[in-house]
Amino acid sequence: MSISRTRELLVDVARQLFARIGVENTTMNDIAVASKKGRRTLYTYFKSKNEVYLAVVESELQQLIKTLEEVANKNLAPDEKLTRFIFTRLEAVKETVYRNGTLRADFFRDIWRVEMVRKQFDQKEIALIRRILQDGIDQGVFDIQDVESMVLVLHYSLKGLDVPYIRGVFNELGVERTHLREEIVNLLFKGLRK
């Protein structure tokens, strides 16, 4: 088995264990046994469980960015592309967190560790948003005076929606997903003015 495939196997096995029994309850030995690799092999790739955890988060973020790149590469009008990007992103983040079971609790408790790994993801996401907005300007669909500021506003707005969206706060308040989508799109493209 190649080096990268062995590492991928270890990360995937760790993700499954973290999801099932939690990061705190998983040992390096558990990962080695479940992967059918020795502890020596595990320690060849990772110095600690924290490194394994960060590799799991990084792997999940790489999958997420691939999903967003697919949307950004679609042949759609810029406004439709931006709308799909936003809602694909919200749903993909939610699915990623839910797929990882008890890892979800660690995600919320250790958000600062996730943020360390997330920097590279954020840079890629910002580049995708910038490209969509610039395409919209070039095609005469968007009227944006300061693209860089708008890119950052959108990016941080989406990050701010992550936790409430994942936790279902909007559902608890009685806001249907379709209505939420319409309100976000209205705000984005029409603003608050009459």
Mean pLDDT for 7-19 is 93
Mean pLDDT for 147-163 is 91
pLDDT tens figures, 30-49: 999 999 998 999 999 999 99
Neighbour tally for 144: CB within 10 Å? 13
Q: How far apart are CA 115 and CA 121, in angstroms?
A: 10
Contact 19, 99 (CB under 8 A): yes
Distance of CA 119 to CAs 79, 113, 123, 151, 164, Å? Answer: 26, 11, 6, 16, 21
Mean pLDDT for 70-83 is 95
Our CA dihedral for 28, 33, 34, 37, rounded to 10 degrees, sits at 90
pLDDT tens figures, 44-75: 999 999 899 889 988 988 999 999 999 999 99
Q: Place 194 in a pLDDT band, splitting at 50, 70 and 90.
A: low
Cβ-proximal residues to 42 (8 Å cutoff; 6+ apart), any chain: 10, 28, 31, 32, 35, 52
In the chain, the domains with their CATH numbers are: 53-190 (1.10.357.10)
Q: Which of 37, 8, 100 is nearest to 28 (CA)?
A: 37
Q: Where are the beta strands (DSSP E) in 35-108?
A: none
10 Å CB burial of residue 122 (0-12, 13-18, 19+) is middle
